[in-house]
Amino acid sequence: MGKRLYVGNLPYSVDSSQLQQLFEQHGTVASAQVVSDRETGRSKGFGFVEMSTEEEARNAINALNGQQFEGRALTVNEARPKENFAPGNRGSGERRGSYGGGRDRGQDRGRRDRY
């Protein structure tokens, strides 16, 4: 199995075939996908590329990470495994209760009303 790479800071105009062409210069691309918003269909500015071998993946990271592509510096690194978001399986980053920042809201509102 190949090595999956995360590609960030992509220009919003780039599609999956252009992403594949960019990485093919550094090895065999098993798949390339630009992630798009489900509602609008527009690019979210990042994607994933699967290279055929570990060596090709390393070459692509070394060659493309930080490089300018259509005016933007790319971020290319190994993709982390997808986290399990099953119901009841709460990750350590999940917050409960308040949406935060509520302490100052009342004070600010009061100040605006006074003037």
For 63-110, what is each residue's pLDDT tens digit?
A: 999 999 999 999 999 999 877 655 555 555 555 555 555 555 455 555
For 12-40, what is each residue's pLDDT tens digit?
A: 999 999 999 999 999 999 999 999 999 99
- Integer Cα distance of 31 and 13 in angstroms: 19
- Whose tokens are 């599609």? That residue is 15
CATH architecture of 3-78: 2-Layer Sandwich (3.30)
Q: Which long-range contacts (CB under 8 A, 24 or more apart) does 89-92 make?
A: none
